[in-house]
Each structure stands twice: as C-alpha cells, then as structure tokens.
Chains A and B, each alone.
Chain A
Amino acid sequence: MSDVTRRQVLATAATGALALGRPAVLRAQSKEPIHIGTLCPLTGAGGSYGPDMQKAIVAVAERINKAGGIYGRPLVLFHEDDQTNPEAAVRAARKLIDVNKVVSMCSTWASAVTLAVKPVAVEGKVFYLSVSGADAVTEGNHGGYVARTQPNTRLQAQVYAKWVLTRKEVKRVAYMALQTPYAAPFGEMFSGVLKTGGLTISDTLIYEDKKPSYRSEVTRVLATNPDLIMLSCYTPDGTVMAKELYRAGYKGAVLGPAFAVNAKFVEGAGAEVAEGIWAIDPAPSFDAPAYKQFAAAVPQADKNPYAAQSWDHMTLIGLALVAGKGEASGTVIKDNLRTVSNPPGTVVTSWEEGAKLLREGKKINYEGASGSCDFDAQGDILSRPFGAYQVRKGKIEQVSIINP
C-alpha cells in the first residue's frame, strides 16, 4: 500500500508541476493532494540554517505520505528560497499562494523576512509558521493565521539573565551582540534584570557582521574586565568572536544562544576554543521522544534548533489538517492548531501517533522536537522550560533546566 501511495505521490507531484495554473486537472483526481509551501532561507544570512530546516520538513512530509497522507490525500511540498531577503521572499510567497495554491507556508527564519511575508499570508488566508523572534512578528490583528515556535525576545532575555544570576562567581557582565532586530531590545531587557540583581554591566557593544577582524571590539570589551561575556550571535560571527576571545587570553565565562553554539560552532572554532562555553535555548530537550525521531531522520541537522522547529511546523500542520478531517485550507489549519498543540489531551510526539488518536476522536497535545509547542491566542509560544548547556570536551552537554 505504502509503495503504491508513494508512486502515486510522485506522479501527482509531477502532474502538479506540469499542470501549473491548471488546477482543474488536479481536481479531477479522486485524492486531491494538499499543497504546502516552504520558505526556508537557502541563501543569504540564514543560508547556514535553511537547508537543514527544509530537509526536516521534507522528512516529516515523506513520513506523512508513507503513512497514507491526510485521509488519503498526499502532501505535495513546493520549495522556495526566501534568500533571507524580504522582497524576494514576498515574490516567492506570492508564487506559492497564487500559483501553487498552498494552504500553509512555513519556516522563514529572519524576522525581517517574516514581517514582510506576514501581510501576504494573512491576506491570502494561508496559515504561516516561522522561527523568527522579533516581537512585531505576532503583534497586531492577523486573524490567527500567524504563529511561531521561537519565544519572543523579552522572554528569552529574562531567562538568560536569570541563569546568569545563579552563577555566584559572576559580578561583571559584558554584552556583545551582532546587529540584528533583537540585539538592542534583548540587551536592554537582559542588562535591566542583571542590574536589578546587583550585577555590573561592564560594556555593551553591538558589532557589524562580516568584518575581517573583531580584534579591537574584543580589546575594548576585555578592557572592562568582565567575568562573563554574553555573546548574542549567530554561528559564523560567533566562532570568529570566540577565537578572538581565546587568542586575547580571556579566561572568563562566555554565554551564547544554543542555536549559535552548536556542533558547527565547535567544529569551526575548534574544541579547545569552544571548551567551557555556555549556551541557553528554549530548547529541545535532547532526550524528548520527538527530538530523537527528528535527529534520527535528519542526522545532519542535529543540534540545529531551527530545523527542530521546522520539524514541528510540518508535524503541527499535518496534525491540524487531520483534525480538520481532511478538509484543506489555511483557515482549517489555524482553527485546529491549538486543538492539536495545547493541553488538554493525550501527549503525542509524532504525526502518526497523533493522527491515529485524532481519527479515533480523541484529544491530543503534541510535544515537539523543539519543545512543548503550546501557543497563546496571539500565536506566541507559551513559556516553557529552557535548557542550559556547556561545551565539554568538544560535545554540547545539557547541564540544567531553567524554568522561566
């Protein structure tokens, strides 16, 4: 059966591609496929995360199709590169919505891209999931068509600060951040909590991406004698900064986001440089069942939390479609999102598990690879445990759980 379905899917995918603009041909078939669009950043600043995100989405969609699809309707994915460029992403989103007739789009990364695509998605009544952190992403009236799996900046900054306050040896903290939409608001929130807690902020420095050297930035920050440096970075600039701190003889603590301090980071900076660096994430607990399935299916994306979020995006869309009884539209997905993601309900950790219970008429609560995936009314992820990690002997090990 699964073999037949698979061939069928390939055949429909091919017809779909050739029959662009002629949806009538598709409608004639008994099991009409459901179209989903991906908008991961394959190029531009997000280019080092996007390809794995797309692979995670493909892996989930293949599993869903192998298991018979949504009430027999196969999923067909249409991939577009958002280029980490808002205008290119808008063109791509228009194409996905108007030409490919997708009912849902997922996994843009940069906040700027998500903010540009958002009005297009809302206008087209297409359900839209992203991994972007800027507060504006879920603000305003979007009719529920927008949600994200990345906690907002305020929550993240508070968690980081709270963790720093538990380190009794830390008295002076420096904040170094790559110029991003959240660099400044994160810094204000983070520094505010630490100052209230009685710590000193020794320096705040926002740096430009892609500079040939950060030597003097490091010199300036080290001159203020911090015990801990909060490094708000992405992987590429973070490794350069970590190497520079190491060369400059810095022996204090470094804390970064776990989406930057990952396996690629350790490989790029070298195990010796990365040794002892702390990282925090609204994270997948690596032991969670959904995470293990994700890591087994997309091994190269291991420890890329955005890919884990993409995995959850596709799973959530798939479950919401099942909850909608196979009827496919953006409205059905947004109306059923919280039914499948939030408590109450039996905890499920995969699409197969959830779909089975849903068909039996039971309530479910998906616990994903990136976390518990519970959404508030505005589409923001509800507060959930964060993980603290440390690079030890070249491996990233979880050391504690922080509850906000």
Chain B
Amino acid sequence: MTGYLVAIATLVGIRALLALGLNVQWGFTGLVNLGVVAFFGVGAYTAGLLAVAGVALPAAWAAAIVASALAGALLATVALRLREDYLAIVTLGFGEVLRLFLLNEAWLTRGANGITGIPRPLRSWFPAHYDLFYLGLVLGCVALIYLALERLRRSPFGRALRAIREDETVATVAGKNIVRFKVQAFVIGAAVAGLAGILFGHYLAYIEPNMFVPQETLFVWLALILGGSGNNRGAILGAVVLLGLLEGSRFAKDVIPFLTGVRLAAAQQMLVGLLLVVLMIKRPEGLLPERAP
C-alpha cells in the first residue's frame, strides 16, 4: 500500500506543478493557455533526450527548463495579442502540433517509439527506498515553486499582472507595458510546466509522444479551477483532489462489480466532465478562492 501511495503522491506532485504553472498564466494574469501539455512535453523530451545521450543531469535539466521557457516565449510573442477566444484555439493547436512533431521527427525525438531507459537521478545512492527519495525530490520542487510563486504574487510584478487581468486599459493608462508583462508571465508558467515534464520523464523512465495529448491539459485546468484559480494553495489542492477522485473510483470499482470495463471508464470520465461543468456554473472561484495578498 505504501508503495502505491508514494507513486500516487509523486504523480500528484507533478500535476500540482503543472497547475501552479498555469496559475501564473491564467490565475494571476488571465492568459488563456490550452497548450499546457506542450511545455510539459518540451521539458520531458529535452531532459530525456539529453540524459540518454549522456549529458550530466543538472545540465540537461537546465537546458530543459530553458527550452520550455523559450517555447513559451515563442508562442507568447506570436499569440498573446490575440483575443482570448482565439488564443484558446491557437494554444490548443500548438499542443497538437508539438505532439505531431514529437511523433514524426524520429531523427530528433525517436518518433513513436519514445525514449526508453531515461536514467533515474541518484539511483545508486538509494538502493532501498528510491521511490521515497524521488517523492521527496518532487515535493521539494513543489514547495520551492510554491514559495517562489507566493513571493511573486505579493511583489509589485504580481500586482501588475493582476491589474492587467482585471482591466487592460487601466493598466495601460497606469503606464504598464502590457505585452512585456504578459510574455513574462507566460514564460514563467511554461518553465514551471517544463520542470514538471523533467520530473515526469525521469520518474517513468520512459516517455512517448502520445503521453502529451490535449486531455492532459484539460486535467490541469480542472485541477486549477477546482482548487481555485489565482490561489497557489488552491492549485495544489486541486491536483490532490482531482487525482484523489480518479484513483478513488478505482477502488469503488473493486466493490461495485456490475460496473465493468468500458462502462466504468466511461462513467469515470463522464464524472470528470460533469464536475468541470458544474464547477464552472456553480463555483467558478474554486474550493480556495483567491485572497488579496
């Protein structure tokens, strides 16, 4: 049982990072990003490919974070001047195009085969309880990012982001360079998603393009909206509750035998969709609503 709980906690930690990253973009700044999975993928792939090629892990990880940030900067510069409904579609498409790239450019990404044998950091140091160590690493990253983002939220920069979210015109009048702030927020969010990708790849030791499908983005959104957008603790709580629900239904099935196979899976996903709809209508502020800093 412990082994299973450790595994779930690790994956919750990775999801929490994704939700924290999205929170900078959507929660703080009001920027729509339906392509979260793209930056997750860039992080995982850059780190995975470099690590497998024998690059030292710290260097590979630094490169992966830079690569995700650059991808974020690229998309942001091109797309952030669009209206938000267009931005939704463009970011969604960006995620899909990245997946196609990973799938088809086998010379670089190993294509549909994926990357096998991604080394697990410091494996030999912890022969007995490696999973616990890795959980510690992930939770450490979550704590670090949480503290950093809390600082950012309270800083003048964070206030400027909120001002842009509430009213762009007023913010412009107040002399803020809106586009620069938006791009910066987007890049920070992308880098955090990249970090989540790094941890994901090294945890599974294997990644492949179809791990990075739009549905993953949907789950990140669900976690953030569930927890409370704008609130960093909400983002983390959302990830915990969401994966808790998904995993919990697994055990429900062991007790309810008549709901089997495809129907169970369908019912589970139906509930996820329903939850999203009901939340959007009834409680858009989430479990932990945003507080003034």
A interface list, Cβ under 8 A from B: 17-18, 20-21, 42-43, 47, 50-51, 54, 78-81, 83, 85-87, 90-92, 94-95, 97-99, 111-112, 115-116, 118-119, 124, 134, 136, 139-140, 179-181, 183-184, 208
Q: Given B7, B200, B247, which contacts A98 in the complex, CB threshold below 8 Å? A: B7
- Cβ distance B134 to chain A, nearest Cβ, rounded Å: 12
Q: Given A81, A94, A111, which contacts B3 in the complex, CB threshold below 8 Å? A: A94
Residue of A nearest to B205 (CB): A119
A-B contact pairs, 24 of them (CB 8 A): A17-B254, A17-B255, A21-B1, A43-B269, A51-B262, A79-B260, A79-B261, A86-B208, A86-B210, A86-B211, A87-B11, A87-B204, A90-B204, A94-B8, A97-B3, A98-B4, A112-B208, A119-B204, A119-B205, A136-B116, A139-B116, A181-B111, A183-B112, A208-B100
A81 touches B261 (CB 8 A): yes
**Contact partners of B58 in chain A: CB under 8 A:** none
Interface size class of B (residues with CB under 8 A): 35 or more
A20 touches B254 (CB 8 A): yes
A94 touches B208 (CB 8 A): no
Question: Which residues of B, 1-29, contact A by the 8 Å Cβ criterion?
Answer: 1-5, 7-8, 11
A175 to B264: give the CA distance in the assembly, Å: 38
**Contact partners of A20 in chain B: CB under 8 A:** 1, 251, 254
Residue of A nearest to B210 (CB): A112
B3 touches A115 (CB 8 A): no
Please report whether the interface of chain A is mostly helix, strand, loop or mixed according to DSSP. Answer: helix
B114 touches A181 (CB 8 A): yes
Q: Given A79, A85, A94, which contacts B7 in the complex, CB threshold below 8 Å? A: A94
Residue picked from B11, B111, B205, B206, most chain A C-beta under 10 Å: B206
Contact with A along B94-129 (1 / 0, CB 8 A): 000000100110100001111011000000000000
Residue of A nearest to B11 (CB): A91
B143 within 8 A of A: no
**Contact partners of B200 in chain A: CB under 8 A:** 87
**Contact partners of A124 in chain B: CB under 8 A:** 3
B114 touches A87 (CB 8 A): no
B274 within 8 A of A: no
A208 to B8: give the CA distance in the assembly, Å: 33
B1 touches A87 (CB 8 A): no
A111 to B111: give the CA distance in the assembly, Å: 13
**Contact partners of A50 in chain B: CB under 8 A:** 261
